[in-house]
Amino acid sequence: MYKKLLFLVLVSPVSVFAQNTYDLVYNTLNTKCSNQTCHSAASAESLKFDGSSSTVYTALINQTPANSASVSRGEKLVWVNQPYESYLLKRAANWLDTDLDLPAAEVDANHTNAGLSTIEAEFIRQWIMNGAKQSGNLVDTNVISAYYNDTARAAFYPKPAKPAAGTGVQVRFGPIFIPGSGSGSEVEYCLKHEVDFDSDVEVVSTEGNMNPQSHHFLLFHFDDSSSAASMSNGMRKIVLTSGNSSFDGNKALSSAWQTNNLYALPTGTAYFWAKKTWLDLNFHMKNYTSPGTSGVQPFDFYLNVQTVPHLPTSATIEMKTKLVNNPGLIVFPHASADIPYADDNNGTNEMRYIWMMSSHTHKYGTGYNIYTYDNTKAHGYGDTLYNGNLEYDVNGGVLFDRGYYDWEHPSVEYFVPQRPVNFATSGVVAQTIWNNTGGSLIHFGYTTSDEMQLFYYMYTTRMAGDSTNIGVQNVKSSDFNFMVYPNPMSETGTIMYTLDNAATVQASIIDITGKEVALLKEEKNHAGTYQMDMGTSELSKGIYFARLNVNGTNYTKKFVVQ
């Protein structure tokens, strides 16, 4: 019997969801495939549908297509978790979604006009995204059917433009169909996603776009392939009572979003990702709006990652992200709480240069401040790093004071230049304030009825623009040559710099907290090489920065007083 490509017979929503999902897919392959040219094992373009249920499954899952164009795109017949890299779905339903587009030469009438319904095609997409497993009921077809049968249904989230070819990738998590009521109206999932680059890369920006009703999205990066393999395939539902956490596994946070945002990393910094990289996508959604008559809303997250090749000779400084979370949080009913929580990395022998910082609570959060840690102060609250009432701009300035903490859209602060914090003698501590107006004890949890005390920041362990270690004096940034010597120094030192054009230059010394401790001089110079004496006898031993402001642009060089 000949076979025809990928259909599902939906007798009724209830009976479909009651069956094993892969059985439905396999039965479709055996009852609705009639084009032997495409699907016979003898064909060069075969999708290998011949054989028993187990044989067909093995021939499809994570297997290389026979189609050479698909191979050149890096696709698999069915790429577990990843419908948009699955050639089988593209051949079956390239008309369903522009993310499933095929080149015109690969589209033919046998597939476009074969009668696959939108609901059936969506079911297949969801099966793949839910792990394309051989057993288990993976997809709630009731919700899918309710959405597509709703003539007033909400539109899909508009797709942002993808990075230009060769400059990065776009990763999509969705659509995820969320009903407008019941326990399923608020959900949180993690999903593994594999990215294959042409080489090791430097990630210079990450941009997130998602539905306004989305609660948050966290982008994690697995330590290695074995760390990724230890986590199950499919959409892993985050449920505190079952022990499933969004922080499970050996992985590190890269970026986080509570609203659409582009993180363009400072020049000279980047995330370092391997040629084969495993991401963990963490998406928390709540259907607040209940659109249409069905109330079902499709949620999507689009991640744009801009990259450049990472060369062995690269001087780029690695950007890292630290997430600090308080899982032991408790807030009593009808009560306010003011709770300090310190970074668990405080006390480590490391300088960190913070570039970005933000915070997170749920609906009872009314205040969030972050300080440098000072053990001589109450609760360790030292100098203020972050005020959750302020709205910041990307250049390190303050736009305005809202006068309150907006927990749904918390402030994101940028430090320009990066803010040095000595984690050997100091660190970071948060002050978070809640007002529990409800009658129940509130504790840490993953729904908006629970609470969180969480902050995160991006940092480097060397100042951006400084490609050297202590003891090496030469730093060149753009067309500006700047050196400090000797390094380390005791009582005196020298700053030397070269100007290609006339400029106004102001020199100062900055300590590790970012405070100016000495203003050396300001002078107008013509093009040429200059040197400036720097007295350090009044400075305590430690790490400092010489800063030159050249026509409004700051350059810094680290040095040590011993």
pLDDT digit string (tens) for 123-132? 889 999 999 9
Is 13 a residue whose pLDDT tops 70?
A: no
- CATH number of the domain that residue 536 is part of: 2.60.40.1930
Count the alpha carbons within 13 Å of 82 in the hemisphere toward its beta carbon. Answer: 21
| Cα–Cα distance for residue pair 552/562, rounded to 1 Å | 31
CB atoms within 10 A of CB 404: 10
pLDDT digit string (tens) for 160-196? 999 988 899 999 999 999 999 888 999 999 999 999 9
Quote the Cα angle for 217-344-364, to 5°.
50
Is 260 a residue whose pLDDT tops 90?
A: yes
Residue 469, domain member (yes or no): no
Say if residues 102 and 90 touch (Cβ distance below 8 Å). Answer: yes
Residue 509, domain member (yes or no): yes
Query: CA nearest 220: which of 187, 200, 249, 259?
Result: 249
Are 107 and 212 in the same domain?
Answer: no
Q: Which of 287, 317, 347 lies at the terminal end of a domain, its last residue?
A: 317
Are 199 and 292 in the same domain?
Answer: yes
Long-range interactions of 396-404: CB distance < 8 A, separation 24+? 404/366
Are 79 and 204 in the same domain?
Answer: no
User: What's residue 481's pLDDT?
Assistant: 65
| Backbone dihedral angles phi then psi of residue 85, each to the nearest 5 degrees | -115, 15
Looking at 377-381, 439-443, 454-458, 461-465, which range is the least confident one?
A: 461-465
User: What's residue 14's pLDDT?
Assistant: 36
Total domains in the chain come to 4
Is 415 a residue whose pLDDT tops 70?
A: yes
Query: CA nearest 96: which of 301, 303, 298, 302?
Result: 298
| Backbone dihedral angles phi then psi of residue 82, each to the nearest 5 degrees | -125, 85
> 3-class SS at 246?
coil
Residue 3, domain member (yes or no): no
pLDDT digit string (tens) for 292-337? 899 999 999 999 999 999 988 888 999 999 999 999 999 999 999 9
Say if residues 460 and 320 touch (Cβ distance below 8 Å). Answer: yes
Query: Any idea of the CA torsion for 26, 32, 35, 41, to the nearest 10 degrees?
Result: 20
Query: CA nearest 489: which of 427, 540, 562, 417?
Result: 562
Residue 161 tokens read as: 């433009």
Residue bearing the bigger pLDDT, 30 or 153:
153
Are 419 and 447 in the same domain?
Answer: yes
Q: Which of 317, 349, 367 lies at the terminal end of a domain, its last residue?
A: 317
Are 72 and 109 in the same domain?
Answer: yes
Say if residues 68 and 42 touch (Cβ distance below 8 Å). Answer: no
Range of 406's domain? 320-460
> 3-class SS at 378?
helix
Beta bridge partners of 284: 188, 216
**If you count DSSP H runs as helices and E runs as strands, how many of each does the chain have, helices first?**
10, 31
pLDDT digit string (tens) for 33-47? 545 455 555 555 555
Q: Tokens 């892993």 map to which residue?
A: 236
User: What's residue 45's pLDDT?
Assistant: 55
pLDDT digit string (tens) for 205-218? 999 999 988 889 99
Residue 465, domain member (yes or no): no
Are 190 and 312 in the same domain?
Answer: yes
| Cα–Cα distance for residue pair 90/78, rounded to 1 Å | 10
Is 370 a residue whose pLDDT tops 60?
A: yes
- CATH number of the domain that residue 375 is part of: 2.60.120
Confidence grade of residue 557 (pLDDT, cut at 50, 70, 90): confident
Q: Tokens 């997130």 map to which residue?
A: 208
Query: CA nearest 497: which of 538, 470, 520, 527?
Result: 527
Phi-psi region for residue 380, left (φ > 0), alpha (ψ -120 to 50) or beta?
Answer: left
Are 280 and 306 in the same domain?
Answer: yes
How many whole angstroms from its chain centre is CA 400?
27
Q: Tokens 């100016």 map to which residue?
A: 516
User: Average pLDDT in the 525-545 region?
Assistant: 81
Is 12 a residue whose pLDDT tops 50?
A: no
Residue 181 tokens read as: 């009521």
Are 132 and 198 in the same domain?
Answer: no
Are 176 and 307 in the same domain?
Answer: yes
Q: Tokens 């609660």 map to which residue?
A: 215
pLDDT digit string (tens) for 447-460? 888 999 999 999 99
| Cα–Cα distance for residue pair 454/221, rounded to 1 Å | 19
Q: What is the DSSP letter of 451?
A: B
- CATH number of the domain that residue 249 is part of: 2.60.120.230
Residue 395, domain member (yes or no): yes
User: What's residue 32's pLDDT?
Assistant: 63
How many whole angstroms from its chain centre is CA 493?
43
Mean pLDDT rounded to a whole number for the chain: 85
Strands 297-309 and 214-222: unpaired
Residue bearing the bigger pLDDT, 511 or 65:
65
Amino acid at 41: A
Residue bearing the bigger pLDDT, 130 or 560:
130
Say if residues 90 and 103 touch (Cβ distance below 8 Å). Answer: no
Are 300 and 351 in the same domain?
Answer: no
pLDDT digit string (tens) for 87-96? 989 988 888 9
pLDDT digit string (tens) for 480-489? 667 787 777 8
User: What's residue 402's pLDDT?
Assistant: 94
Exposure b/e, 214-235, CB count within 10 A at least 16 = b: bbbbbbbbbeeeeebeebeebb
Confidence grade of residue 150 (pLDDT, cut at 50, 70, 90): very high
Q: Which of 317, 347, 373 lies at the terminal end of a domain, its last residue?
A: 317
User: What's residue 33's pLDDT?
Assistant: 59
Are 271 and 133 in the same domain?
Answer: no
Residue 159, domain member (yes or no): no
Is 560 a residue whose pLDDT tops 60?
A: yes
Residue 376, domain member (yes or no): yes
| Cα–Cα distance for residue pair 546/75, rounded to 1 Å | 51
Sheet holding 251-257: strands in order across? Answer: 236-237, 186-196, 276-286, 214-222, 251-257
Quote the Cα angle for 224-227-230, to 5°.
150
Residue bearing the bigger pLDDT, 116 or 256:
256
Percent share of the chain, pLDDT over 70: 87
User: Average pLDDT in the 473-480 region?
Assistant: 38
Residue 34, domain member (yes or no): yes
Burial bucket for residue 9 (CB in 10 Å: 0-12, 13-18, 19+)? exposed
User: What's residue 3's pLDDT?
Assistant: 33
Q: What is the DSSP letter of 181?
A: S
CB atoms within 10 A of CB 20: 15
User: What's residue 284's pLDDT?
Assistant: 95
Are 310 and 175 in the same domain?
Answer: yes
Say if residues 461 and 469 touch (Cβ distance below 8 Å). Answer: no
Strands 528-535 and 492-499: antiparallel
